[in-house]
Amino acid sequence: DLPAVAFIGLGNMGSPMSARLAAAGYPVTGFDLDPAARDRLTEAGGTTAGSAAEAARGAGVVILMLPSSAVVEAVLAEPAVTAALAPGTTVIDMSSSDPLSTRKLAGELAAASVTLIDAPVSGGVKGAENGTLTIMVGGEEAAVERARPLLAQLGSARRAGNVGSGHAIKAINNLLSATHLLATAEGILAGERFGLDPAVMVELINTSSGRSGSTDNKYPNFILPETFDSGFGLRLMLKDMKIATGLARQLGLSSRLGEQAVALWEHAAEALPPAADHTEIARWAAAATRA
């Protein structure tokens, strides 16, 4: 029998992910502060609740797909939510959260016999819609194994280590991805000024050693067509970069290139509108690098 699933956070990612679980036959009860997000789950065959606590009541699995650790912490600190989590419940934080916060939360929940695993994702809105996400999992092996059939509906899950490990590798991945993207933008701008066609450059880089997710996905799909509609916000990317550099700092390491990238993305976040897509970093770079 499929466990009842509470799905908290029905945004760009949570919406298609919760819809997939509902389509696979999981009884899904969702909650989001935004009524339009709740309506999308109802249309996809799920049920919605009036609060996170109401969604969590009676659920065997509680999935969180929220913006940040600050929000995850706030939701889990609501007394009504704590009361709604029965012993034996598994909480899966699929948001891109801070691994140190995740470890702390896991310890607190364990005291109430609730298991937390982290399972952040890569693959974007398309990957969420198609069930082809890469899922980076941290947590006790037994709990991860129990969650496997559910995660398989969303993508391909790999256990990276103990709780917090998924969130650590996710933040590191996004710091790389953001750094590649800005480096790519600077390179393409210089080539363009030299007279090259950006599409030709991207094709050549994609069969060369400079290729990355920026050249094989972001440039062809969102930047060259100037749609800038990947569905992943610039501010969410900056949050992930800061998790990665902050983690390194707390471990006694300095990430010199990473800190530079954070500073540049911060300038972009100040210059671009609050809802800017992360691919708009290329537009910012075009203005900022004009010397």
Binding residue for ligand NAD (CB under 6 A) from 63, 65, 223, 264? Answer: 65
What radius of gyration do the chain's Cα atoms show? 20
User: CA 214 to CA 87: how far, in whole Å?
Assistant: 43
Min dist. Cβ of residue 126 to ligand NAD (A)? 9
Under a CB-based contact definition with an 8 Å cutoff, are residues 193 and 60 in contact?
Answer: no
DSSP 50: S
The full DSSP string for 250-284 is HTT---HHHHHHHHHHHHHHHHS-TT-BGGGHHHH
| Residue whose CB is less far from ligand NAD, 39 or 197 | 39
124 binds ligand NAD (CB under 6 A): yes
234 binds ligand NAD (CB under 6 A): no
Total residues contacting ligand NAD (rule CB under 6 A)?
Answer: 29
DSSP β-ladder status, 61-64 and 5-8: parallel
Residue of 158, 155, 156, 154 lying closest to 21 (CA atoms): 154
Using DSSP's 3-state secondary structure scheme, residue 81 falls into helix
Min dist. Cβ of residue 220 to ligand NAD (A)? 16
Tokens of 34: 């935004």
Binding residue for ligand NAD (CB under 6 A) from 10, 117, 144, 238? Answer: 10
| Residues numbered 66-85 forming contacts with ligand NAD, rule: CB under 6 A | 66-67, 71, 74-75
11 binds ligand NAD (CB under 6 A): yes
218 is catalytic: no
| Residue whose CB is less far from ligand NAD, 35 or 87 | 35
Q: Which residues bind ligand NAD (CB under 6 A)?
A: 8-14, 31-34, 37, 52, 65-67, 71, 74-75, 95-96, 121-122, 124-125, 231-232, 236, 240
Question: Catalytic residue positions?
Answer: 170
